[in-house]
Amino acid sequence: MDTQSREHSRKRLVMGNWKMHGNQAANTVLLDGLCAGVTAVPNCDVAVCVPFPYLGQANASLQGSGISWGAQDVSRHEQGAYTGEVAAAMLADFGCAWVLAGHSERRAMHGETDQLVADKAAAALSAGLTPVVCVGETLDEQEAGRTKDVISRQLAPVLALGASSLARIVLAYEPVWAIGTGLTATPDQAQEVHAFIRARLAELGVPQVRILYGGSVKASNAASLFAMPDIDGALVGGASLVAEEFLRIAAA
């Protein structure tokens, strides 16, 4: 599939990751703002991934709004004696469409391995959710010229799930050095990695998989990122906590 036909095959996706932020009162203001403004963004899929306790609130607030919602993590297990874990079917029970898998903070702080991330993606798929599988290199890895090696290693067990599963997955490239730092990969830097990922997907017959960019995305840099042929949207952190800023990113 060439770039032009791929551009016409699907909308871009802009997804907010609230991380560990929010309370019921603040969430109400944010969700109401998103619902009020999303009608001005007709050509983009908009979604938010909220902390587990607020999935019910998102479910109630976003019904019929055109905004979908999801969670930030999922268990690899279906059910059982796994205290503190949340199963994919439980997320589906709250109307989730999405779940993040392998965010760099989970990999770094919780020791999540590449295989575990793939297992979580598979668990999400089995419950009808779309996993958003995150990959990305650290600053040391980038400076050592190892970006593509790291991405290849992280992708390997996900690609091993096979084309039929990959066709139902979203990937997100998030250079670790650009998350929450104010640093952003230049559009050309991001495009180079996205094109590399796209080529790997094309080898398996699924070039249409959406690949998001994540890493200090703001309204001021979104348009230049989205102008790149292989960047299909954004995974937005801090800027997703302000309705107006988040919607301006989606509008870009």
Q: For residue 35, tell me if it sits in a domain.
A: yes
Q: For residue 134, tell me if it sits in a domain.
A: yes
For residue 158, what are the contacts with CB-CB under 8 A and spacing of at least 6?
Answer: 114, 117, 118, 121, 133, 166, 169, 171
pLDDT for position 10: 65
pLDDT for position 179: 81
Q: Which runs of consecutive H residues, i.e. helices, occur in the chain?
A: 3-9, 24-37, 55-62, 88-93, 104-110, 114-126, 139-143, 147-159, 163-166, 187-203, 219-226, 243-251
Q: Show the low-confidence residues of the chain (pLDDT under 70).
A: 1-10
Q: For residue 2, tell me if it sits in a domain.
A: no
pLDDT tens track for 41-87 = 988 999 999 999 999 999 999 999 999 999 999 999 999 999 999 99
Q: Which domain holds residue 26?
A: 13-251
Q: For residue 6, tell me if it sits in a domain.
A: no
**For the domain that residue 48 is a member of, what is the CATH number?**
3.20.20.70
Is 103 marked active-site? yes
Q: For residue 131, tell me if it sits in a domain.
A: yes
- The catalytically annotated residue of 105, 112, 137, 174 is 174
- The catalytically annotated residue of 103, 105, 137, 194 is 103
Is 105 marked active-site? no
Q: For residue 8, tell me if it sits in a domain.
A: no
Domains of the chain: total: 1
Tokens linked to 96: 């989730």
Q: For residue 1, tell me if it sits in a domain.
A: no
Q: Which runs of consecutive H residues, i.e. helices, occur in 48-87?
A: 55-62
Distance (Å, whole) CA 187 – CA 108: 25
Residue in the structure block whose two tokens are 């999922």: 74
Q: For residue 164, tell me if it sits in a domain.
A: yes
